[in-house]
Structure 1
Amino acid sequence: MSRQLVPQLVTEDEQTRALRLEVRDFLRQEIANGSFEPWVDTWLTRWDNDFTKRLAQRGWVGMTIPTEYGGHGRTFLERFAVTEELLAVGAPVAAQWIADRQIAPSLLRFGTEEQKQAFLPKITTGDLCFGIGMSEPESGSDLASVQSKAVKVDGGWKLNGRKTWTSGGHVADGFFALARTAPLDTSNRHAGLSQFIVDLRADGVTIDPIIAMNGSHHFNEVTFEDVFIPDDRVLGTEGDGWHQVTSELAFERSGPERFLSTFVPLQELLTHLRTQAAEAAPGSDAAAPARPTGRLGRHIARLTALHHMSLSVASSLQAGENADTAAALVKVLGTTEEGDIAETVDRVAGDCAAANPRLQDLIDGAAAQRPGFTLRGGTNEVLRGVVARSLGLR
């Protein structure tokens, strides 16, 4: 078996554990103050600039960005502890999520000094928000088939094309767009692609909402019509966009957002069952945890395993190691599990949901978001192929 797929057991040191408890206390107070209501899939669906700035003031945005670029120079393991706590309570973190998770690491790796100075400090303060410009109407997981094109002009490039499923595009400041800058070479479809830093408020950019069946709006379609991109907003090397995009994938696929999107309804159901058990047994200790059903217990065990797998990937990233295959595995198992949790909570809740409107709302929210879990960030079918090839099975 590939060594990448054998997770190393990583434990938090005292400093990281203290940080986790500090974040937990902060979030408990924020909820008590009515700052936000815990929800489902909030790294995608809940955009709150004010909350992001409160996190930034505490040093919990841009944690792994070096101090010379306005960041905090902390470890990936410390960042993991913070993000896991935020997701576990369904905090509204979409405003900083993409910028912090993958835009900043890509800038650090491929950006010019001017680009780093221009963008990284503002990401850290929560003043600059990004989306992702990869998927297109006819190009989802097969990014090599992107149709957006950029043509060289005096002082820059003219960009034309469309991007779809752009989360937060209507409120984000910019995104990295993958576009073809050289004619398609059928012998090497990944060649001739480049990345551009696009201002989503620039002339020629049109953003149309994609409204979900439940009326929610976080997806968008972004159209480019002769959008001028200055030369100093090319990210990395012209024609090397495929390599650059794939280098982001370990950051995109391995985090706790890939298995905690439905943790809040699971927690709400467990709390409800615990209360029921206490009320049914007069004189019992209401603080004692109720025994979950076997089905819920299995999910808790799986989440524990996924926590350790994802933490192991964070440790590999901290060490500068390649974690692409392990990240793909986390994404496959994690997104399958969070979808299964949504289904199990719905089934187990039964009459509980009728007596608990809050639980029913969370169940409905999880059902609405579930179809996207195994699609975004690369479909699970494609990622199983990535893992299989790593193991020499394909």
Structure 2
Amino acid sequence: MNLLDQFGPPVLPPGLEPLRAEVRDFLAKWGATYPAEKRALSWMGFDPDFSRALGAKGWLGLSIPKEYGGHDASPFERFVVNEELLAAGAPVTAHWIADRQSAPLLLRHGTPPQKQRFLPAICAGEMYFCIGMSEPASGSDLASVRTKAERQGDGAWLLNGRKVWTTNADRCQAMIALVRTDAASERHDGLSQFLVDLALPGVMIRPIKDLSGHEHFNEVTFEDVRLDADALIGVEGEGWAQATSELAFERSGPERFLSAMTLFRCLVAAVGPEPDARQAFEIGRLAAWLVALRSMSISVTAQLAAGHDPVWAASCVKDIGTGYEQDTVEVAMRLIDSLPPGAKTATTRRVLAIVQSMAPSFSLRGGTREILRGILARGLGVR
């Protein structure tokens, strides 16, 4: 597929509006007393009860087959549900990683017992996963991971090493970890993925407090953690290919440009229906950028629906999207003193403070800007 063709026609299939209306009605009832300050956390808000409620509505595991507790829906239906959740600032992070990438990965590469054990619980909003990729000395350079799993005589594995920046590891039941299974290998070779029960002996989790005071980042240490033979996901030594296909799910969704949506909505509400020239210019520019990003994300969703691995296009969405999110903060900072006094402006100030503290992470999580642009350069043949 030509790279430019990866962003063509960004049109959602017909028939999705009843679903969108149902989700909006659910969110309107749920969010009547949910303050903007909590909505500002966007998809980092953690609420297991809310995740289970979504599971009960059938809005998790939408594209997972019914035999595993899913709903055999298209990626487009999942896009609509998630777009509405993110636009509302709903607290989705408990189930987010499991639903977004762990479930599709297991569906594609997992064994029948793995699918039967984990997928129904993910679809019910009752089992939460974290990602074990980055390490203290191997952040953006993912191919240099040193955490290792050594096969034992009985077929089991012994896991040793450390993962860091592991979102919600302290509140998840399982991790999908990328580790080295061939001690003599280098870079992309000799890597494999494993299912790690975080309650196993030898697993130590240390929360890391960030600038906003939250502790969703974690450092996870493995000391002689014994994994059963069936903890291996897919094919031994194929972990790099599996992980990079998983990243297409992580980098292409609406969460890559809607993290600052609550701030944008508060800003628009505070400005009101009669903006001055500067306010109209800044908000209009953000709105146009948002429309373009949404179109790009829908195009990537179409590729996923067609069975492609849109790594290049997903990297585009993530790179441009996080730039948009961070620029939303910059625009709000430039306009905040021009807003009329009142409750809406006071709320905007509080929301700005929250999103501003998180904004540096937008271009780090899910792949740094430098890594993404390297992928884009290789795809364009200029590197």
Please indicate the TM-score interval, normalised by the length of the shorter structure. Answer: over 0.9
Q: CA separation of 1:64/1:292 partners in 2, compared to 1, >3 Å: closer, same or farther? A: farther
Superposed, 1:1-394 pairs within 5 Å as 2-3=2-3, 6-34=6-34, 38-43=38-43, 45-153=44-152, 154-186=154-186, 189-274=187-272, 277=274, 293-350=280-337, 352=339, 355=342, 356-394=345-383
Q: Is the 8 A contact 1:5 1:325 kept in 2?
A: no
2:265 partner amino acid: Q
Deviations for 1:166-192, whole angstroms, at most 9, x for unmatched residues? Answer: 111110111101111112434xx2111
User: What is the TM-score when the length of structure 2 is the normalising length?
Assistant: 0.95
Q: Tell me the distance in 1 between the aligned counterparts of 2:60 and 2:101.
A: 13
Q: Is the 8 A contact 2:36 2:347 kept in 1?
A: no
Q: CA separation of 1:5/1:370 partners in 2, compared to 1, >3 Å: closer, same or farther? A: farther
Q: CA separation of 1:199/1:36 partners in 2, compared to 1, >3 Å: closer, same or farther? A: farther
Deviations for 1:269-291, whole angstroms, at most 9, x for unmatched residues? Answer: 1111117x49x9xxxxxxxxx99
User: What is the TM-score when the length of structure 1 is the normalising length?
Assistant: 0.92
Q: Is the 8 A contact 1:31 1:37 kept in 2?
A: no
Report the secondary structure of 1:15's partner residue: coil
Report the secondary structure of 1:150's partner residue: strand
1:132 partner amino acid: I
Q: Is the 8 A contact 2:105 2:246 kept in 1?
A: yes
Residue 372 (structure 1) shift: 0.8
For structure 1, list consecutive stretches of 5 or more residues without a partner in the other structure: 281-289
Residue 384 (structure 1) shift: 0.9
1:390 partner amino acid: G
Q: Is the 8 A contact 2:180 2:190 kept in 1?
A: yes
1:272 partner amino acid: A
1:270 partner amino acid: V
Q: CA separation of 1:246/1:70 partners in 2, compared to 1, >3 Å: closer, same or farther? A: same
Report the secondary structure of 1:170's partner residue: helix
Residue 42 (structure 1) shift: 2.4
Q: Is the 8 A contact 2:121 2:127 kept in 1?
A: yes
2:231 partner amino acid: R
1:393 partner amino acid: V
2:135 partner amino acid: E
Q: Tell me the distance in 1 between the aligned counterparts of 2:34 and 2:353.
A: 22
For structure 2, list consecutive stretches of 5 or more residues without a partner in the other structure: none
Residue 40 (structure 1) shift: 2.7
1:315 partner amino acid: A
2:166 partner amino acid: T
Report the secondary structure of 2:7's partner residue: coil
Q: Tell me the distance in 2 between the aligned counterparts of 1:322 and 1:194.
A: 19
Which deviates further from its counterpart, 151-160 or 192-201?
151-160
Residue 10 (structure 1) shift: 2.9
Report the secondary structure of 1:252's partner residue: helix
